[in-house]
A = this chain, B = another copy of it.
Amino acid sequence: MALPALLLEVGSHQLEVAETLISVGEFLVIFLAARVLAELMVRWQLPSILGELLAGVLIGVSGLHLIVPPDTQAQLSAGVLALVGSLAEITPEAVQHLYNETFPNLQAVSQIGLFALLFLTGLESELDELVAVGAQATTVAVTGVVLPFALGTAGLYYLFHVPLIPAVFAGAAMTATSIGITASVFGELKFLRTREGQTVIGAAVLDDILGIVILAVVVSLAGGEGFAIGPLLKLVAAAGVFVAAALFLSRTAAPGFDWALDQLKAPGEAAVASFLVLSLCCFAAQAIGLEAALGAFAAGLILSSSKHTHAIDAAVKPLVALFATLFFVLIGTGMDLSVLNPFEPANREGLIVAAFLLVVAIAGKVAAGWSYLSKEKTNRLVVGIGMMPRGEVGLIFLGLGTQAGLLTKPLEAAILLMVIGTTFLAPILLRLVLRGSSGGPDLDPLAEVPT
C-alpha cells in the first residue's frame, strides 16, 4: 500500500500483496528474534539491549540472512524469497527487488526509535543528582571521557595506522557510559543509593551529554570536508551553546510547556506535545549544523523538569520499545562477525584491534574512579567499574559510522565487541568486587529493597 505507483501497473495487486507481506514479515521476524534474545539476556541479568543486537546478528548477514541491509550486498535467504514469492504469486527476483526498494522505510522507522530513545535518555536525566554529588561526578565524567577518547584515537592512529576520521569515531564510541545499563546494573545489585552509586549515575548523566556533543562534532566533521580547526571550533561552540540553551530551557521552559499541555483537550496530548518539542529541537540542531540526535536528547532534557514527565515517559516508552529495538536489531543485521574468526589469518589484525579497544575502554573508565579527591572513604574500583558499560551512545556512533561507510569491517566488529565486552563484563566484575569489598547484609539483595 505504500507504493501507489505500482498499483497502476500490470500485476500491481501481486506486488502490493508482496510488499505488505515483506513489511509485516520484517516486523514479525525482527520483534520475535529481539524479544527471545532480550528475554534470555534479562534472565542472565544482562541488559536487554544486548539481546536486540545479538538478535540482529542472528537474523542478519552473519546468521540466517532473514534481514540483510541492501548496502551489504548480501543475499536474502532463498527460503524467504520463495515463500513471499509463492504467497504473492510473483518471482523471487521481484521479491528481492521490492525488498531492496522498501528497506529505507524500515530504516526511517528505526530512526524515529533512535530519536525517541535519546529523547527518553534526556527526559530521565536528573540534573539535580549531578549537582548533589557535585565536583566528584564531574571529574569522573570528564576523565572517563578524555582518557578512552585520547588513548583510543591515538592508539588506533599511531599503533594500528587507522586513518584519523575512523580512529576518532572509534575513540568517540568509547566515551559515553550507558546511563540505562549502569542504572539497571546498580539497581539490580541494590547499590543505587550508595555514595558510589550516586557518583556513577551523576557522572554517567554528564558524560552522556559530553558523548553526544562529541557525536555531533565528529559526525559533522566526518560528513564534511575533513579535519580543520576552524569548523571544529565553530561546531564545538555551536554544540556548547546548544547544550547550554537546553540546560537553561530545562530550568525555565517547563512551566510554559506544562501550561500549554494543560490547555490541550484533544486525546494524545502528551505524545503529540512531546513529539512537537522533539521535532523542533531536532530541526534547530540540524539547522545550525549539529546532529538531529543532539536535538532529540536536548528535547528530553528540556522537558525533564516538566510536571508531566510521567505521562510523557508513558507515551514515549512504547515508541522506544518498538522502534529503538528496530534500530539496534538493524545494526546487528549488518554486522559481519566472520571477520572475527581467529582461524582466518586476515582477521588477526581486527581481533588485535578489538582487544586493544576493550582494554582501553575498561582501563580508561576504571582510572576515572581514582580521578577525584574525597575526604570520605569511597570504593573507587566500584565507581570505575560502574562507569564501564557502554551502550546506546557507543552503538549510535557505530551505526552512524557504518551508515556513512566510514568504518572498515574489522573496526566495526571491534567497536561492537568493545560495547558487548564492557556491558557483559561490568555486572560480573561489579558483583565480584562488591562481594570482596564490603560483605554482609549489603550484599543480600533481599536485605535492602529501594522503592
Contacts and interface: CB of A to CB of B under 8 A. Distances in A.
A51 interface: yes
Interface stretch (A269-277, A430-438, A441-449): A269-277
Contacts of A71: 4-5
Given A27-B279, A319-B318, A272 B223 contact: no
Interface in A89-140: 102, 104-109, 111-112
Interface stretch (A6-14, A74-82, A203-211): A6-14
A225 to B, nearest CB: 9
Nearest to A18: B286
Nearest to A315: B318
In which size bucket is the chain A interface? 35 or more
A25 B279 CA distance: 7
Number of copies: 2
A287 B87 contact: yes
Interface in A292-318: 292, 314-318
Q: Please report whether the interface of chain A is mostly helix, strand, loop or mixed according to DSSP.
A: helix
A150 interface: no
A51 B266 contact: yes
A325 interface: yes
A287 B21 contact: yes
A355 interface: no
A127 to B, nearest CB: 24
Interface string A12-37: 11001100110111011001101100
A289 B14 CA distance: 10
A107 B2 contact: yes
Interface in A314-329: 314-322, 325
Interface in A354-374: none
Interface stretch (A39-47, A189-197, A250-258, A380-388): A39-47
Interface string A53-92: 0000000000000000001000000000000000100000
A428 interface: no
A403 B1 contact: yes
A268 interface: yes
Contacts of A107: 1-2
A282 interface: yes
Contact of A286 (B24, B287, B315): B24
Given A403-B1, A403-B4, A24 B266 contact: no
B32 A268 contact: no
A164 interface: no
Contacts of A1: 107, 111, 292, 400, 403
A230 B20 CA distance: 24
A28 B268 contact: no
B271 A321 contact: yes
Contacts of A286: 17, 20-21, 24, 87
Contacts of A177: none
B24 A292 contact: yes
A201 B169 CA distance: 58
A450 interface: no
Interface of A: 1-5, 7-8, 12-13, 16-17, 20-21, 23-25, 27-28, 31-32, 34-35, 38-39, 41-43, 48, 51, 71, 87, 102, 104-109, 111-112, 220, 223-224, 263-268, 271-273, 275-276, 279-280, 282-283, 286-287, 289, 292, 314-322, 325, 400, 403-405
